[in-house]
């Protein structure tokens, strides 16, 4: 596993451009960003509850790659016991020792990005907007710095495992998928989505994310004559839709899949002219016009919601999940 998914070489000019774009995008409509985050989490929770056949409540939940803002942690911790794991150090207070640890473990780029984001006040602004929208942020979340491909939790430690937009940054996602199956209890639910590399935004160029794509044409990273225009800001494993389905199915027998479609009509309409020009022939429509693939799996075994299992779950939960 890599020290940090954000540790990608862009050069001095590329980093400067990235910082300027991030500065502009982070200051733009923070209330809207907060509402969008919470709406996506509400949607994911509803999907998980449908798969489980019960409310997501009083459960031990593992979040793989919770992100620096920890909104996911606070959202699921409202009615559950939540543990997050990440290779990136996630500082929760202004502490020199925490940033030195981040520098040693995750490198200079991750550290400078985090310091810059906090210095511009984005984390504080997002927290305020999230709380205005009705979610109280958890001031003491349980976060463990851990390699998801080599988890140290005992078998069957969690009722649910959740991960959003993390798997595309993993160098060995198959190992992580296998570990998730191991730490999940029988009857428990795994819910993971991966941002498809073959989507228009799959290159993770911050200019596309921020709506300031300038001269970047659709799917530039997949078109040899346009590839030099793109600047990915993080490590990407470049796994395609069929490969994701094979990986998840290998370790989660009976896993179900959903695709989240491209929401931008301009991008949707751009595919037909490119097809007519003989471009992108090696890609299927669904992998080009879908942004995320969602994998959802209930581990075979007893129902997670049974009272006996609930008592057993609480008594056998790993120390790091106790609050």
pLDDT band at 25 (very low <50, low <70, confident <90, very high): low
Looking at 54-171, which runs of residues are DSSP E strands?
60-64, 81-86, 142-145, 158-164
- Among the four given CATH numbers 3.40.50.150, 3.40.50.300, 3.40.1180.10, 3.40.190.10, the one describing domain 11-310: 3.40.50.150
Average pLDDT over the chain, rounded to an integer: 85
Please tell me the predicted confidence (pLDDT) of residue 316.
Answer: 38
Q: Look at residue 291 and give its three-state secondary structure.
A: strand
Q: What is the mean pLDDT of residues 22-26?
A: 53
Q: What whole-number distance in Å separates Cα of residue 280 and Cα of residue 299? A: 37
Tens-digit pLDDT profile for residues 277-306? 999 999 999 999 999 999 999 999 865 444
Tens-digit pLDDT profile for residues 244-282? 999 999 999 999 999 999 999 999 999 999 999 999 999
Give the up-direction half-sphere exposure of residue 246: CA atoms within 13 A in the CB hemisphere. Answer: 5
This prediction's pTM:
0.83
Helix (H), strand (E) at residue 87:
none
Give the 3-state secondary structure percentages of the chain, helix then strand then coil, rounded to 5.
45, 15, 40
Two structure tokens written together for 55: 């409310």
Strand order across the 290-298 sheet:
142-145, 81-86, 60-64, 158-164, 184-195, 290-298, 256-261
Q: Which comes out higher in pLDDT, residue 113 or 323?
A: 113
Q: What is the mean pLDDT of residues 231-247?
A: 94
Q: What whole-number distance in Å separates Cα of residue 223 and Cα of residue 238? A: 14
* Whether residue 312 has pLDDT greater than 60: no
Q: Look at residue 192 and give its three-state secondary structure.
A: strand
pLDDT band at 218 (very low <50, low <70, confident <90, very high): very high
Q: Please check whether residue 239 is in contact with residue 215, taking contact to mean a CB–CB distance below 8 angstroms.
A: no
Give the up-direction half-sphere exposure of residue 137: CA atoms within 13 A in the CB hemisphere. Answer: 17
Q: What is the mean pLDDT of residues 155-161?
A: 98
* Whether residue 219 has pLDDT greater than 50: yes
Which letter does DSSP use for residue 252 in this model? S
């Amino acid at each position: 596993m890599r020290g940090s998914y954000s540790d990608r070489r862009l050069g001095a000019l590329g980093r400067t451009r990235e910082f300027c774009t991030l500065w502009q995008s982070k200051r733009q409509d923070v209330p809207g960003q907060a509402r969008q985050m919470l709406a996506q989490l509400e949607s994911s929770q509803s999907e998980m509850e449908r798969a489980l056949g019960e409310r997501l409540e009083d459960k031990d939940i593992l979040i793989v790659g919770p992100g620096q803002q920890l909104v996911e942690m606070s959202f699921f911790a409202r009615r559950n016991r939540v543990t997050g794991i990440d290779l990136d150090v996630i500082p929760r207070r202004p502490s020199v020792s925490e940033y030195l640890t981040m520098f040693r473990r995750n490198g200079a780029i991750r550290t400078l990005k985090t310091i810059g984001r906090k210095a511009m006040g984005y984390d504080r602004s997002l927290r305020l907007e999230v709380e205005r929208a009705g979610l109280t942020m958890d001031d003491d979340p349980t976060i463990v710095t851990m390699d998801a491909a080599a988890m140290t939790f005992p078998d069957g430690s969690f009722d649910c495992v959740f991960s959003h937009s993390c798997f595309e940054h993993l160098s060995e996602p198959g190992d992580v998928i296998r570990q998730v199956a191991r730490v999940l209890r029988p009857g428990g639910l795994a819910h993971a989505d991966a941002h498809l590399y073959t989507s228009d935004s799959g290159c993770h160029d911050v200019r596309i994310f921020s709506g300031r794509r300038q001269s970047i044409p659709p799917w530039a990273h997949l078109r040899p004559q346009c590839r030099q225009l793109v600047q990915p800001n993080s490590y990407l494993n470049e796994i395609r839709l069929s490969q994701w389905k094979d990986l998840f199915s290998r370790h989660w027998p009976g896993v179900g899949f959903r695709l989240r479609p491209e929401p931008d009509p301009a991008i949707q309409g751009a595919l037909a002219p490119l097809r007519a020009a003989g471009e992108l022939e090696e890609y299927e429509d669904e992998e080009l016009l879908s942004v995320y693939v969602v994998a959802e799996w209930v581990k075979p075994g007893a129902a997670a919601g049974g009272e006996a299992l609930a008592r057993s779950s609480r008594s056998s939960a790993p120390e790091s999940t106790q609050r």
